[in-house]
């Protein structure tokens, strides 16, 4: 394409991104970097969702952790790939980082404020604070829908009509946050599992009697009753703690309350069970209960969680809540380029596609932004190699047979190595090395 024609395409191209979450900001940022003018729509703060508290872009509503750092974890490998793709989410995470052992956690206010400011100041991004009730395919050359799992009812209905398909949904439960000043630090200790990282978690030990009493009361506690149109369909990776407890009295000891790798310095032994608290902000004045997503009523949360010895007098800054999330059956509706099979100029990104977690949502936003730019230039959209974590994840959600359930970035999605490697750690290291080398070659060719 000649320079003059290219500039004409750039000037006349009309592209919209619907949704200012992690996927939406990545998509808009990518398009802006490539020289396109972008209309980025975000309905907040004019219209709020059941989970959001602010009008900031990329507000984190569940955990403040972006998952493991190491490239031998699915999330860590995906982040390494995103760094090579100039992710604004990871750029912001570095500015807002708080200590969290082997995980990348952020001060959520600093994080979202940084992204909001960067995009608001970008001359190529027009931030429009309005609810989009219908996908504006007639008004734009390309549209990216990244409206998230809390898509408004009007837009949800329009997507349903346009794609001719039903939604599934799952529940995403939010863990409580406590005021650090009200935690009894004399009854626990700071430290990370297996001493990895620094003393980034406060560990609250429970004896066998304390644990059994906690589980007993948890199972008896009153829960929020779903509305008539909501059935109990939980995603395994974000299971409410009381639902896990229903599977057996020791289930929590193999889940969020597992003591493995934690030695109580007061006894020199592994406790019977442990609740971990993680810093929610840089100052460490707020602590969240790791893995304690819940749908208990607010009074019951206070009663039951105060049975944990360290939290006897805890003041809860935010209690857990639960809300309905929607996502597409992308295996029936989307191409591995994230284009709609029915409308080639319509792309989807983020949790609405059936990926799970902050990092996966953001990564699909980058991919949607790359392919939207290619479509605008008259180029073929890209399908990322399956040897990369991003390519493997998108391949899974767009090709899985049967019913699609939300999927995290995990090594099980990657194709096996040519030669079998028995050592699990070494195998993952080799697969990660292959992924990053494959991505670099792929980027260099395009």
Domain-wise residue ranges, the chain:
3-167+328-445, 174-324
**For residue 130, is pLDDT > 80?**
yes
**For residue 370, is pLDDT > 80?**
yes
pTM over the 0.75 mark? yes
Give all strands (DSSP E) within 125-258, no chain letters.
Answer: 125-128, 142-145, 168-174, 177-179, 189-190, 201-206
- Tell me the per-residue pLDDT of 395-414, one tens digit each, with 9 for 90 and over: 999 998 888 878 889 898 99
Radius of gyration of the chain (CA): 22
- Tell me the per-residue pLDDT of 234-262, one tens digit each, with 9 for 90 and over: 666 678 999 999 999 999 999 999 999 99
The pLDDT of residue 172: 63
- Tell me the per-residue pLDDT of 416-429, one tens digit each, with 9 for 90 and over: 999 999 998 999 99
The pLDDT of residue 169: 67
Give the architecture-level CATH label for domain 174-324.
Beta Barrel (2.40)
Compute the mean pLDDT over every residue in the chain, rounded to the nearest whole number.
92
- Tell me the per-residue pLDDT of 373-400, one tens digit each, with 9 for 90 and over: 999 999 999 999 999 999 999 999 999 8
d(CA 239, CA 173) in angstroms, rounded, equals 7
**For residue 106, is pLDDT > 80?**
yes
Closest by CA to 407, choosing from 243, 240, 238, is 238
- Tell me the per-residue pLDDT of 325-351, one tens digit each, with 9 for 90 and over: 789 999 999 999 999 999 999 999 999
**For residue 284, is pLDDT > 80?**
yes
Q: Give 174-206 as a DSSP string.
A: EPPEEEGGGS-GGGSEE--GGG-SSS-EEEEEE
The percentage of residues in the chain with a pLDDT greater than 90, rounded to a whole number, is 78
3-167+328-445, CATH topology level: FAD/NAD(P)-binding domain (3.50.50)
């Amino acid at each position: 394409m000649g320079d003059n024609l290219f500039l004409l395409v750039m000037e006349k191209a009309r592209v919209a991104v619907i949704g200012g979450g992690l996927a939406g900001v990545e998509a808009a940022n990518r398009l802006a970097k490539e020289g396109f003018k972008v209309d980025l729509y975000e309905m907040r703060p004019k219209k709020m969702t059941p989970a959001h508290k602010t009008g900031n872009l990329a507000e984190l509503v569940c955990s403040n952790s972006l998952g493991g750092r190491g490239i031998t974890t699915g999330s860590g490998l995906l982040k390494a790939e995103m760094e090579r793709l100039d992710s604004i989410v990871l750029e912001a995470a570095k500015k807002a980082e708080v200590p969290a052992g082997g995980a990348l956690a952020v001060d959520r206010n600093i994080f979202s404020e940084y992204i909001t400011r960067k995009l608001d100041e970008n001359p190529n991004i027009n931030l429009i604070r309005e609810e989009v009730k219908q996908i504006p395919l007639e008004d734009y050359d390309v549209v990216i829908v990244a409206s998230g799992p809390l898509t408004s009812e009007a837009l949800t209905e329009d997507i349903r009509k346009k794609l001719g398909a039903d939604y599934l949904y799952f529940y995403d439960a939010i863990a409580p946050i406590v005021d650090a000043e009200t935690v009894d630090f004399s009854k626990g200790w700071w430290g990370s599992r297996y001493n990895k990282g620094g003393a980034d978690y406060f560990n609250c030990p429970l004896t066998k009697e304390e644990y059994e009493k906690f589980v007993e009361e948890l199972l008896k506690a009153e829960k929020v009753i779903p509305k008539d149109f909501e059935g109990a369909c939980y995603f395994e990776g974000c299971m409410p703690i009381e639902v896990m407890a229903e599977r057996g009295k020791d289930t929590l000891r193999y889940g969020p309350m597992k003591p493995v790798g934690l030695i109580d310095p007061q006894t020199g032994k592994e406790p019977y069970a442990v609740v971990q608290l993680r810093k929610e902000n840089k100052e460490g004045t707020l602590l969240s209960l790791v893995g304690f997503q819940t749908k208990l009523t607010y009074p019951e949360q206070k009663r039951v969680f105060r049975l944990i010895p360290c939290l006897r007098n805890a003041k809860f800054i935010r209690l857990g809540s639960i809300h309905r999330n929607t996502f597409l059956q992308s295996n029936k509706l989307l191409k591995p380029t994230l284009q709609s099979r029915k409308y080639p100029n319509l792309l989807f990104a983020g949790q609405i596609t059936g990926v799970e977690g902050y990092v996966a949502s953001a990564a699909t936003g980058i991919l949607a932004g790359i392919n939207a730019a290619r479509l605008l230039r008259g180029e073929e959209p890209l399908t990322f190699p399956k040897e990369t974590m991003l390519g493997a994840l998108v391949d899974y959600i767009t090709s899985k047979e049967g019913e699609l359930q939300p999927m995290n970035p995990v090594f099980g999605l990657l194709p096996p190595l040519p030669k079998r490697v028995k050592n699990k750690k070494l195998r993952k290291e080799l697969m990660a090395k292959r992924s990053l080398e494959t991505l670099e070659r792929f980027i260099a060719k395009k």
